[in-house]
C-alpha cells in the first residue's frame, strides 16, 4: 500500500479495512514516524487477540506508550504496573450502585449551576463544549474524592486544566524520538505538575486524613475500628495498598498522583461522549420528535423524589439506546482496542502463520467495524432507537425481562466504545448512570432547538476532534 496516495491515517485505515480487514486479513498501518507502525487485525480475530494472556500481549503497555504514562502522570514508578486499573476493576462495579444517590444529587447541582442564567422567556445560546466542561468535573470529583470536595471550584478548574495540559504534553511527546524524551518529557509536563499541585491544595487534607485513619484501623487500633470510609477512588487506592502490604505507597504524594490517570480518563471520555450525543440528537429530523420521545420515557420513570436509582435508570431503554448509537458513530478514537506484544517469543497466529516480534503494536479499527454495512443497517445514519427495539421487554417464564445484550455498557466485537474482554473499562457503569442523569435533567428542565445540520468532526491522526465552537439554543421549560 502506497501511503502517499492517502491524505490522512483514517483514509488509510478505511482503505485497508475494505481491501484486507473485510476478507479476514491483517494489514500494516504505516505512520509518518518510522518507529510507530501498527498491525491492524480484522474483526474476526478480535476474540483470538483478547484470549491471549497478558504475558504475551499487554493492554497496559500499549496505553502506557500511547499516553507517555510516566511523564504525563508525573511518576515513572507508577508506570511499571497497571495498579490504577486494578483498583477500578476491584472496587468500581462493586460500589457504583451505592454512589447513585450522591451522583444524582451532584448531577443536579452541576447542571443547575452551569445553566443558572437560562430563562424561560427567551432562547439563550450555550456553547456545548463549555457546558460539559463545567458540568462533568463535579461528578468526576465526587467519584475521586467524595462529596465533601467535589463542588470546590478551584479543584474542578485544576482538573480541567490538568486534562488540557496532559493532552498537549502527549501530543508533544508523540512527535519526539524516544532518545530525546527524557529531556523533553519533564519540560513538556511542567504545566501538568503545576495543575497537579493546585489539585493537591484541595484534596491533600482528605488524603492525609484517610491514610491516617485507615492505616490505624488496619493496625488494629481500637478507637478506629468503627470507622467506615466514604466509597471513592481515594479510599479504594488506600484499601488496595493496605491489602497488598505496599508500605511504600502509604504516602499522600503518591496517592495523589494515583488520581491523575482517572481524572484524565473520566473527564476526557465523558465530555466527548456527551458532546457527540447532543449533536446527534439535535441533528435528527424534527418530525421524528426524538426529544419528545425521550422526555416521555424519562417522565414515565423519573422517581417522585427526584433521586435516581438503579431500577429507574435501567428503565430508560430509549435513552440508553440513543447513547449507545452515538457511541457507535463517534468513538473516542478510531482504534480503541490496542495491545503491545510483550512476550519474548512474540505473538504467533497459528492459523494464519504470521509472527509479530516483541514490541509490535496490534490494533483494531473499531470505527470501521462500527460503521460496517455488513454489520449495521444504514451504518452512517444516526438512529437513536436502533438498539431500543432489540431491548423490548419479553415474557420469560411468565415474567417480564429486558435483555441487556444491547445496553450501552455491554461490550462486543461490534461495540468497542468501552473496550472488550477482561480489560473492558471498569468505570463504564458509573459513566452510563452519569450520562443518563445528565440527559434526563437537561431534557426535563429545558427546551432545546434542533440544529439545521450536525457540525462536522475533524481528525488529528486517529483521533476525532470535536467542534468546540458548536452552540445550542436553550430555554428553561415552564412548570
Residue ranges for the binding site for heme? Answer: 425
Nearest to 448 by CA among 328, 319, 283, 324: 283
Residue 451 CA to residue 439 CA, distance in Å, equals 17
CA distances from 138 to 159, 193, 199, 417, 477 (A): 10, 21, 13, 23, 24
Query: What are 246's three cell numbers?
Result: 505496599
Chain-centroid distance, C-alpha 197? 24
Task: State the distance between the two ends of the chain, measured CA to CA, in whole angstroms.
Answer: 61
The alpha carbon torsion through 338, 38, 10, 70 (nearest 10 deg) reads 50
Query: What are 3's three cell numbers?
Result: 501511503
Residue 421 CA to residue 439 CA, distance in Å, equals 28
DSSP state, residue 178: G
DSSP state, residue 293: H
Number of helices (H), then strands (E), belonging to the chain: the values are 17, 14
Q: Is the dihedral of CA 150, 155, 157, 161 positive or negative?
A: negative
Residues near 328 by Cβ (< 8 Å), separated by ≥ 6? 370, 371, 376, 415, 417
Nearest to 84 by CA among 241, 237, 249, 273: 237
Indicate the annotated binding residues: 425
Residue 388 CA to residue 384 CA, distance in Å, equals 8
CB 407 within 8 A of CB 324: yes
Helix axes 153-174, 190-218, angle to 10 degrees: 120
Residue 278 CA to residue 398 CA, distance in Å, equals 38
Amino acid at each position: 500500500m502506497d501511503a502517499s496516495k492517502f491524505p490522512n491515517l483514517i483514509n488509510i485505515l478505511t482503505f485497508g479495512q475494505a481491501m484486507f480487514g473485510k476478507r479476514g486479513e491483517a494489514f500494516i498501518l504505516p505512520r509518518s514516524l518510522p518507529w510507530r507502525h501498527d498491525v491492524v487485525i480484522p474483526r474476526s480475530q478480535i476474540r483470538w487477540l483478547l484470549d491471549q494472556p497478558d504475558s504475551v500481549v499487554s493492554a497496559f503497555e500499549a496505553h502506557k506508550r500511547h499516553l507517555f504514562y510516566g511523564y504525563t502522570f508525573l511518576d515513572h514508578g507508577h508506570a511499571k504496573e497497571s495498579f490504577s486499573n486494578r483498583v477500578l476493576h476491584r472496587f468500581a462495579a462493586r460500589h457504583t450502585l451505592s454512589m447513585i444517590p450522591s451522583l444524582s444529587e451532584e448531577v443536579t447541582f452541576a447542571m443547575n449551576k452551569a445553566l443558572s442564567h437560562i430563562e424561560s422567556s427567551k432562547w439563550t445560546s450555550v456553547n456545548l463544549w463549555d457546558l460539559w466542561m463545567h458540568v462533568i468535573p463535579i461528578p468526576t470529583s465526587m467519584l475521586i474524592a467524595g462529596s465533601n470536595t467535589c463542588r470546590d471550584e478551584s479543584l474542578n478548574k485544576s482538573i480541567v486544566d490538568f486534562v488540557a495540559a496532559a493532552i498537549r504534553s502527549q501530543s508533544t511527546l508523540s512527535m519526539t524520538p524516544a532518545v530525546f524524551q527524557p529531556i523533553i518529557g519533564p519540560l513538556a509536563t511542567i504545566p501538568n505538575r503545576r495543575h497537579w499541585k493546585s489539585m493537591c491544595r484541595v484534596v491533600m487534607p482528605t488524603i492525609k486524613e484517610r491514610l491516617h485513619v485507615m492505616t490505624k484501623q488496619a493496625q488494629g487500633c481500637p478507637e478506629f475500628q468503627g470507622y467506615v470510609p466514604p466509597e471513592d477512588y481515594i479510599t479504594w487506592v488506600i484499601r488496595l495498598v493496605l491489602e497488598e502490604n505496599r508500605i511504600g505507597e502509604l504516602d499522600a504524594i503518591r496517592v495523589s498522583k494515583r488520581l491523575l490517570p482517572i481524572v484524565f480518563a473520566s473527564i476526557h471520555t465523558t465530555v466527548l461522549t456527551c458532546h457527540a450525543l447532543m449533536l446527534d440528537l439535535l441533528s435528527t429530523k424534527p418530525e421524528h420528535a426524538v426529544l419528545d420521545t425521550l422526555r416521555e420515557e424519562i417522565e414515565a420513570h423519573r422517581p417522585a423524589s427526584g433521586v435516581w436509582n438503579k431500577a429507574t435508570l435501567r428503565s430508560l431503554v430509549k435513552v440508553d439506546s440513543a447513547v449507545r448509537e452515538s457511541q457507535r458513530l463517534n468513538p473516542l478514537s478510531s482504534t480503541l482496542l490496542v495491545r503491545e506484544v510483550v512476550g519474548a517469543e512474540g505473538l504467533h497466529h497459528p492459523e494464519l502463520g504470521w509472527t509479530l516480534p516483541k514490541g509490535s503494536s496490534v490494533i483494531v479499527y473499531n470505527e470501521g467495524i462500527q460503521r460496517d454495512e455488513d454489520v449495521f443497517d444504514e451504518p452512517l445514519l444516526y438512529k437513536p432507537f436502533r438498539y431500543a427495539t432489540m431491548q423490548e421487554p419479553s415474557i420469560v417464564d411468565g415474567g417480564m425481562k429486558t435483555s441487556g445484550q444491547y445496553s450501552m455498557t455491554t461490550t462486543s466485537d461490534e461495540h468497542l466504545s468501552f473496550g472488550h474482554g477482561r480489560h473492558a473499562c471498569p468505570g463504564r457503569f458509573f459513566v452510563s448512570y452519569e450520562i443518563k442523569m445528565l440527559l434526563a435533567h437537561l431534557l426535563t428542565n429545558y427546551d432545546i432547538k434542533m440544529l439545521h445540520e450536525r457540525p462536522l468532526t475533524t481528525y488529528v491522526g486517529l483521533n476525532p476532534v470535536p467542534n468546540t465552537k458548536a452552540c445550542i439554543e436553550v430555554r428553561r421549560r415552564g412548570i
